[in-house]
């Protein structure tokens, strides 16, 4: 007989509302919402919190346990919201605090938990603290990492550290000091040895916990502590070393005391509030340190995301990940896509083959012990949009170039509203120009693209208002722009942060010249195109009119409405898989309790190109080969990513497919 690819209307053991176990996070399925691209409620072409709230029923029907929201705080959007100017307020682009409160309440009514981003490694340059630091307020610079430069006149950066986005990780201000920014110049790094920094973020976490959120995804959780003395690394292309080698600015032992303190804070609230680390470490063992019993609850497993379509590599990553986290009593997390990487349909080859592999990989991921993260639109089988016109691109890395000269803006000493930026000065005549941007983890073919270690943005420089330098010589991105009255900060390009040209003027210095890159770096726009909900043409129900990035005409058949009820659609496959994940105790339902084997799984012999493992009452087969494979049937098929032929004794597995079995 042939077992169909999906089964609709499976009997569920329990609903979202009953997942109130204190250990809900150990096997939760958490859905990432990129707020800008999920749903637009007000017709400005940009997603917002009210739009998210209106689409929560889709997530409840899908069967996820929680939703993770990307930053929606007040921000000049130099890094897609990961440059925060006010951690306790909602940016008008996305709504207001009442919208956030109503979203949390609505999610809880549907049995969904809510996780929000917190960005503790750096602030926005427009944060009141940094504005005070530039204005010379006594003690203000101690909250950041300001240093004197090297050389007789201090004209060289304090060390050889490079920004993740290319170029030096230091920018010089008007009085000659330099400040550290591991990401864009608009994102100055905080000094976590300062007690005010610790106290401020304790207060920020309590603010959102009091509002009712269920946890935090901690951005750059590995970055808050730097090695004593800020030592040189001694080599370039440092972004390529992240997650592979020890670095003095990442994964320092001191970050763990911060996370221990935050765990105590989280545990002081009812309802199992959690912390999730976005952490890059050189090994699975180092990553596991972030999820020890007295630290955070989860850490992203980027090794699984980076794994090629190869059964040996997959098994190695699975075994090593489970071994490392089991050793500290924590669950493993699994993820295939997010807002920083090429969507896995495209990474796996694109077209029919890429979709088949993506469906199979999703079933593999959802059958593994631990917690899984889904990125919005993957349940629709969305591919990467690789042909966006240059004028619509918003990823600043797309336009980053060599930093030739740096303007001298006027410094606004007041910490109140108004355009503010560092008082940056140009290199003196004869000084070396900053180095060429380091290679990005994205500068590779789509099929092998790895994750960008952060959310967004490149090294544009905005400056204060006034006469002086000419505008930045790079084409403007066509992004919706908020009126000045909404923000009090002057016009800002809003769609992630195209290369703004709001250059201001103090005396001296030529404008920064940023020749447009060749497009090999800024690949993060293609995964951020707003998702389709219904209809035959754009914006497919995303909002009343338009979308901040153009949607492909062929997406009509991939919308939620088009796929609902089709038993062979990717959406119904995800719905069925998530329902079965809840219904089968062997897949780790919360009430099932711990397995005698903490991993809850056992590998069985299988043909070349095939993975076969069991969990209590359950088996999973993955055929990575481009042709069918026959083997003894490990049980009764209950779900498959492609039609499976079996007579009950043997099975013919389709190519690039995954099948779940009950026994």
> What positions carry a catalytic annotation?
219, 278
Q: Where are the alpha helices (DSSP H) in 327-448?
A: 344-347, 351-367
650-653 and 629-632: which strand pairing?
Answer: antiparallel
**Sign, CA torsion 212/41/77/410:** negative
User: 3-state DSSP call for residue 152?
Assistant: coil
Contact 212, 101 (CB under 8 A): yes
| Residue among 215, 579, 213 at smallest CA distance from 379 | 579
Could you tell me which residues are beta bridge partners of residue 168? Answer: 162
Give the separation between CA 477 and CA 162, rounded to whole angstroms: 26
- 325 neighbors 291 (Cβ within 8 angstroms): yes
Half-sphere exposure of 492 (CA within 13 A, CB side): 32
Q: Give the length of the chain.
A: 663
94, 42 contact by CB (below 8 A): no
Angle between helices 351-367 and 570-583 (to 10 degrees): 10
- 3-state DSSP assignment of residue 30: strand
Report H helices in 418-476: none
Dihedral sign for Cα atoms in the order 510, 516, 520, 522? positive
Considering only CA atoms, which of 606, 586, 582, 605 is closest in space to residue 597? Answer: 586
Distances (CA, A) of 207 to 2, 119, 215, 254: 54, 14, 12, 25
Which has the closest alpha carbon to 215: 332, 287, 296, 288?
296
Cβ atoms of 115 and 371 within 8 Å: the answer is no
Q: What is the Cα–Cα distance from 643 to 520, expressed in whole angstroms?
A: 38
Q: What tokens were used for 125?
A: 């340059």
């Amino acid at each position: 007989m042939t077992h169909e690819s999906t089964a609709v209307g499976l009997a569920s053991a329990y609903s979202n509302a009953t997942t109130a176990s204190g250990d809900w996070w150990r096997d939760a399925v958490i859905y990432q919402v990129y707020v800008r691209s999920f749903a637009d409620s007000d017709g400005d072409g940009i997603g917002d919190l009210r739009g998210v709230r209106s689409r929560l029923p889709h997530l409840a029907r899908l069967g996820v346990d929680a939703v993770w929201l990307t930053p929606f705080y007040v921000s000049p959007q130099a890094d897609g919201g990961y440059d925060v100017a006010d951690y306790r307020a909602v940016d008008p682009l996305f709504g207001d605090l009442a919208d956030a409160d109503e979203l949390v309440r609505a999610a809880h009514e549907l049995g969904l938990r809510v996780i929000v981003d917190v960005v503790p490694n750096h602030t926005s340059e427009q944060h009141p603290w940094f504005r005070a630091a530039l204005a010379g307020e006594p003690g203000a610079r101690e909250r950041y990492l300001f240093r004197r430069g090297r050389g007789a006149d201090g004209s060289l950066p304090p060390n050889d550290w490079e920004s993740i986005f290319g170029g030096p990780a230091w920018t010089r201000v008007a009085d000659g000091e330099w400040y550290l920014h591991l990401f864009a110049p608009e994102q100055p790094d905080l000094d976590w040895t300062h007690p005010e920094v610790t106290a401020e973020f304790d207060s920020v976490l309590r603010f959102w916990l009091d509002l009712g959120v269920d946890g935090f995804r901690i951005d750059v959780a590995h970055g808050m502590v730097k090695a004593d003395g800020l030592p040189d690394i001694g080599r370039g292309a440092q972004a390529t070393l992240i997650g592979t080698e020890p670095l003095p600015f990442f994964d320092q032992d001191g970050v763990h005391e911060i996370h221990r303190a935050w765990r105590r804070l989280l545990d002081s609230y009812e309802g199992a509030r959690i912390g999730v680390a976005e952490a890059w470490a050189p090994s699975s063992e180092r990553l596991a340190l972030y999820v020890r019993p007295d630290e955070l609850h989860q850490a992203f497993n980027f090794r699984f995301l980076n794994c090629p379509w190869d059964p040996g590599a997959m098994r190695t990553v699975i075994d090593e990940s489970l071994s490392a986290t089991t050793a500290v009593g924590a669950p493993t997390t699994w993820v295939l896509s997010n807002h920083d990487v090429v969507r896995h349909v495209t990474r796996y080859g694109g077209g029919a083959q890429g979709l088949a592999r993506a469906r199979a990989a999703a079933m593999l991921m959802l059958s593994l012990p631990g917690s899984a993260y889904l990125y919005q639109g993957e349940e629709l089988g969305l591919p990467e949009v690789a042909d966006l016109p240059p004028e619509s691109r918003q990823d600043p890395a797309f336009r980053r170039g060599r930093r030739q000269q740096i303007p001298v803006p006027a410094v606004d000493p007041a910490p109140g509203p108004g355009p503010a930026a560092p008082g940056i000065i140009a290199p003196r005549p004869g000084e070396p120009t900053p180095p060429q941007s380091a290679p990005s983890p994205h500068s590779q073919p789509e099929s092998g693209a790895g994750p960008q270690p952060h959310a967004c943005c490149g090294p544009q420089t905005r400056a204060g208002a006034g006469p002086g330098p000419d505008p930045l010589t790079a084409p403007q991105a066509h992004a919706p722009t908020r009126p000045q009255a909404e923000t009090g900060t002057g016009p800002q390009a809003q769609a992630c942060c195209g290369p703004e040209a709001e250059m201001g003027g103090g005396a001296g210095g030529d404008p920064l010249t940023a020749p447009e890159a060749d497009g090999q770096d800024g690949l993060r726009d293609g995964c951020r195109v707003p998702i389709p909900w219904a209809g035959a043409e754009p914006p497919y129900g995303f909002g009343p009119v338009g979308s901040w990035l153009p949607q492909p005409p062929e997406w009509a058949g991939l919308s939620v409405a088009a796929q609902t009820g089709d038993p062979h659609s990717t959406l119904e496959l995800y719905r069925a898989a998530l329902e079965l994940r809840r219904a089968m105790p062997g897949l780790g339902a919360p009430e099932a309790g711990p397995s005698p084997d903490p991993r809850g799984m056992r590998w069985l012999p299988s043909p070349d190109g095939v993975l076969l493992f069991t969990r209590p009452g359950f088996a999973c087969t993955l055929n990575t080969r481009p042709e069918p494979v026959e083997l003894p049937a490990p049980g009764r098929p209950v779900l498959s990513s492609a039609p499976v032929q079996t007579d009950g004794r043997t099975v013919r597995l389709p190519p690039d497919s995954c099948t779940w079995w009950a026994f």
